[in-house]
């Protein structure tokens, strides 16, 4: 127990004077037709923001031709959510187009993600 307290104290001292914030989870709801409620999502790379895709209907696939995330494809099961994780450290500050495919209907949409500093 004393070891845990010491580690926590060390971490607190290292972060003194710096604002430490965890990334936000920004929600994108995928509608039945493959359209989204948030056409362009602005993520902070330095804060470690991530996208959380939600599907209340059919299963969907989200595909990035060039992905700012660790994964290039995210599969969202019907009625489920999937987290993108934060942008990769080497991801450029840029706009990334992605494609959504309704796996049940084979219908697609193409919204985007802006990676900000």
* Burial classification of residue 86, based on how many CB atoms lie within 10 Å of its CB (0-12 exposed, 13-18 middle, 19 or more buried): buried
* Burial classification of residue 60, based on how many CB atoms lie within 10 Å of its CB (0-12 exposed, 13-18 middle, 19 or more buried): buried
**Spatial distance between the Cα atoms of 107 and 2, rounded to a whole number of angstroms:** 57
What are 13-37's pLDDT values in tens digits? 444 444 444 789 999 999 888 889 9
- The answer to whether residue 65 is domain-embedded is yes
Whether 38 shows a pLDDT value over 60: the answer reads yes
The pLDDT of 78-87, averaged and rounded, is 95
Q: How confident is the model at residue 65 (pLDDT cuts 50, 70, 90)?
A: very high
* Containing structural domain, residue 32: 23-116
- pTM summary value: 0.72
- The answer to whether residue 18 is domain-embedded is no
Residue 13: alpha-carbon gap to chain centroid: 30
Where residue 101 sits, what CATH number does that domain have?
2.60.40.420
pLDDT for res 76: 96
């Amino acid at each position: 127990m004393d070891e845990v307290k010491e580690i926590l104290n060390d971490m607190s001292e290292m972060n003194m004077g710096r604002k430490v914030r965890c990334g936000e989870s920004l929600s994108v709801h995928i509608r039945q037709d493959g359209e989204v409620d948030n056409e362009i999502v602005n993520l902070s790379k330095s804060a470690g923001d991530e996208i959380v895709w939600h599907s209340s209907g059919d299963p969907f696939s989200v595909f990035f031709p060039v992905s700012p995330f660790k994964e290039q494809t995210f599969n969202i099961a019907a009625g489920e959510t999937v987290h993108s994780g934060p942008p990769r450290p080497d991801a450029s500050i840029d706009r990334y187009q992605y494609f959504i495919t309704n796996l049940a209907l084979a219908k697609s949409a193409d919204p985007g993600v802006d990676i900000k500093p």
